[in-house]
Structure 1
Amino acid sequence: MKTRDRILKSALALFNEEGEPSVSTVDIANEVGISPGNLYYHFRGKEVLIEALFDAFEEEMHIVLEAPVAKPLSVEDNWLYLYVVFEEIYDFRFFYRNLSDLLQRYPQLARRFRDLLALKERALGALLRELAGRDFIHLGDTEHIHLAERLTLFMTYWMNDRAVRHPEEDGPDLIHRGVFQMLLTIGAYVPEGREVFLTLVEGFYADISTKKRR
């Protein structure tokens, strides 16, 4: 692996684990096993390093979020899709923790992050319209817009909520719980067999949680 890639990988791991404000370029250099001067050769300051990580995050999110907009997904694929989105967010979770503070310190990222949120909302809107078009859920004329906005808000601040209320929770369990809550929210709009759907969702989540603990 090239030195530049090793720096990015180590920086991402440290930012996710300890929080971006707590990590210096010296910490990253020590983790990689190089001198601060060598790190500076590749990234002339922490700001440049943050932008490079955001470039990677932005690219991954565009690939994922444009999928349901470009081509409708099957009902089953919609649920898997939510997992993929949560996994991408989790992989770059330091961007979402203390989001307002981070964007104040790196204002050049603010517009790009807003664009990602708008794309996330469009993707969720496309997902909801597809489910409504298949009569899986019933929504009013503009209800999918408001529901997509609520789901976007939930996805954006989910990890902050869990970090405050359940700081011990991490990894797959954090993702599973997030998807579970999303499915429960969407399940409220299932016109027929709602109780069956919610029971299946709860059973599915319980099964995943049991397997994870083994």
Structure 2
Amino acid sequence: RDLIATLFGRFEQRMLGLLRADIGDDAGIEDAWLFLHLVFEVIAEYRFIYRDLTELCSRDRGLAQRVRAILKLSLGTADGLLRALQTSGQFEASADAREALVRSIVLVSSYWISFDQVLEPDCEPRPDRAAWQVMSLVSPFLLGEARIQFDAIATAYRS
């Protein structure tokens, strides 16, 4: 239990550092992609947390609160990133569509590693594939140059 608490503390510190970083109003598609890749690298490093998140949280109420706080901050960060893209004219979605997209982003971000490890049990986690998967959720809402940038980055990530 002490080991889990220590490792979770390290994970939490790294995630909070990323999630609290100032995105800025001029964030672009490349910024979003890099941010996601960095988040997924941390998740891959601390993947034991995500293997059975429900079980881990049911054993320790304090840990469950900390996980909830990270998830709530993740929702806020994803919304902030989409708002920045919308403000800069790179993204267009209604408030309802953006809210649904934010939840989908955090959902996929939270469970991609379990999916990947069941699908390919002998492979290492692929943060690049997770970033591509999340950005694929965003891509239908991208406009103009942002869509062109997405296609170029997606092609690079798939090759």
Write the deviation string for residues 144-178 of structure 1: whole angstroms up to 9, x where unpaired. 2221111000000001111111212314xx11110
Equivalent-residue separation in structure 2 for 1:73 and 1:193 (angstroms): 14
- Larger mean CA deviation between 184-193 and 79-88 belongs to 184-193
- Is the Cα–Cα contact under 8 Å of residues 86 and 179 in structure 1 kept in the other structure? yes
Among 115, 138, 155, the alignment partner of 1:203 is: 155
- Is the Cα–Cα contact under 8 Å of residues 188 and 194 in structure 1 kept in the other structure? no
Q: Which runs of 5+ in 2 are unaligned?
A: none
Q: Equivalent residue for 1:186? A: 138
Equivalent-residue separation in structure 2 for 1:98 and 1:66 (angstroms): 25
Among 7, 14, 17, the alignment partner of 1:63 is: 17
The residue correspondences of 1:54-203 to structure 2 (distance < 5 A) are 54-68=8-22, 71-72=24-25, 74-75=27-28, 76-171=30-125, 174-192=126-144, 196-197=148-149, 199-203=151-155
Write the deviation string for residues 89-117 of structure 1: whole angstroms up to 9, x where unpaired. 11111000111111122332111100100
- Do the aligned partners of residues 191 and 129 (structure 1) sit closer, same or farther apart at CA in structure 2, a change above 3 Å counting? same
* TM-score, normalisation: structure 1: 0.67
- Do the aligned partners of residues 154 and 68 (structure 1) sit closer, same or farther apart at CA in structure 2, a change above 3 Å counting? farther
AA in 2 matched with 1:200 = A
Q: Which runs of 5+ in 1 are unaligned?
A: 1-46, 208-214
Equivalent-residue separation in structure 2 for 1:59 and 1:180 (angstroms): 25
- Is the Cα–Cα contact under 8 Å of residues 74 and 106 in structure 2 kept in the other structure? yes
- C-alpha displacement of 1:68: 3.8
- Is the Cα–Cα contact under 8 Å of residues 132 and 138 in structure 1 kept in the other structure? yes
- Greater relative CO (CA pairs within 8 A, separation 6+): 2
- C-alpha displacement of 1:198: 5.1
Structure having the higher Rg:
1
- Is the Cα–Cα contact under 8 Å of residues 92 and 143 in structure 2 kept in the other structure? yes
Equivalent-residue separation in structure 2 for 1:123 and 1:179 (angstroms): 15
AA in 2 matched with 1:118 = K
Q: Secondary structure of 1:67's match? A: coil
Q: Secondary structure of 1:158's match? A: helix
Equivalent pairs, count: 158
Equivalent-residue separation in structure 2 for 1:48 and 1:206 (angstroms): 40
AA in 2 matched with 1:154 = V
Equivalent-residue separation in structure 1 for 2:81 and 2:59 (angstroms): 34
- Is the Cα–Cα contact under 8 Å of residues 27 and 81 in structure 2 kept in the other structure? no
- Is the Cα–Cα contact under 8 Å of residues 26 and 88 in structure 2 kept in the other structure? no
- Do the aligned partners of residues 194 and 108 (structure 1) sit closer, same or farther apart at CA in structure 2, a change above 3 Å counting? closer
- Is the Cα–Cα contact under 8 Å of residues 26 and 84 in structure 2 kept in the other structure? yes
- C-alpha displacement of 1:135: 1.1
